[in-house]
Amino acid sequence: MALKAVIFDVDGTLADTERDGHRVAFNAAFTEAGLPWHWDAALYGQLLAVTGGKERIRHYAERFDPATAQRPDFAELVQGLHRRKTRIYTDLVAQGRIALRPGVRALLEALRAEGLRLAIATTTTPDNVQALLEANLGSEGPAWFEVIGAGDVVAAKKPAPDIYAWVLDRLDLKARDCLAVEDSENGLRSSLQAGLPTLVVVNDYTGRQDFAGAVAVLDGFGEPQQPFRVLRGSAHGKRRADPGLLRVWHAEALANGKDVLS
């Protein structure tokens, strides 16, 4: 079964967006709204267990500021904070403050050159994906991805498989035709439950999580001057992720079929 498409997560995978992007934007929105909330880098690492920004704000308030969570206008407060946070985040990204991870652009270009189809499956808001791709790949960047599944298009966010199922449906492909690329345990649970062979590329927030079921785990995508380290699986002597290696991992995952559901 040949690899036909690669489906990328965004936050933590295509770019390290969380600590210096989303977190900063959440804090700025809280301050503007006069709330005494501040998410430092360590607390934010814990809050990432809850996917989705609105869901994360709700969870934080219920746990750390129950009086605010019980306000009759709490639902509107969360909506307003998140709308403002999205604006602050997209402005930050448009200013070029969040780069793609090393090796990502080269990998995307190589996959396109080989005619592999590209897609995105993420819990983040669609505007954020648009801003990140435009800022880093140019105005044509979003069109590199045939399908972009993002945010509230599905009710159940990762680790539920819904966003991957949504993307597969629109690609009109079976899970076994694709490879997912994720950075987190929540993301991996989502992709594996959708039946997708999955490569994990960790970052500082996710390196110690459980990646059972991934076909390989790397610490980066690798570049000529900065090869990846393989944390699980085999890279067959290669030093950076390229279409050939992704095809090998895809084939390995199908051969080990026990790790994928379809």
Nearest distance from C-beta of residue 127 to ligand XBP, angstroms: 8
* Partner from Mg ion, ligand XBP, none binding residue 90, C-beta < 5-8 Å depending on class: none
Site mask for ligand XBP (CB under 6 A), range 130-149, x = bound:
--------------------
- 246 with 129: CB under 8 angstroms? no
Is residue 101 at the binding interface for ligand XBP, with CB under 6 A as the rule? no
34-72 core/surface letters (b: 16 or more CB in 10 A; e: else):
ebebebeeeebbebbebbbbbebbbebbeeeeeebbeee
Identified catalytic residue from 9, 177, 183, 242: 9
| Ordered alpha helix ranges (H), the chain | 23-32, 41-47, 53-64, 66-69, 74-94, 104-113, 126-137, 162-171, 185-193, 243-255
What are φ and ψ of residue 138, in 5° steps? 90, 175
What are φ and ψ of residue 256, in 5° steps? -90, 20
Is residue 12 at the binding interface for ligand XBP, with CB under 6 A as the rule? yes
- Interface residues for ligand XBP in 15-54 (CB under 6 A)? 18, 22, 51-53
Is residue 206 at the binding interface for ligand XBP, with CB under 6 A as the rule? no
Nearest distance from C-beta of residue 183 to ligand XBP, angstroms: 7
- Among this protein's residues, is 162 annotated catalytic? no
Count other Cβ atoms within 10 Å, centred on residue 157: 20
- Of 72, 67, 137, nearest to 104 by C-alpha is 137
Is residue 18 at the binding interface for Mg ion, with CB under 5 A as the rule? no
- Among this protein's residues, is 16 annotated catalytic? no
Relative to beta strand 147-150, strand 117-122 is parallel
Nearest distance from C-beta of residue 11 to Mg ion, angstroms: 4
Is residue 123 at the binding interface for ligand XBP, with CB under 6 A as the rule? yes
Is residue 187 at the binding interface for ligand XBP, with CB under 6 A as the rule? yes
Interface residue with Mg ion, options 3, 6, 8, 9 (CB under 5 A): 9
Catalytic residues: 9, 11
**Contact residues: ligand XBP, CB under 6 A:** 9-12, 18, 22, 51-53, 86, 122-125, 128, 158, 184, 186-187
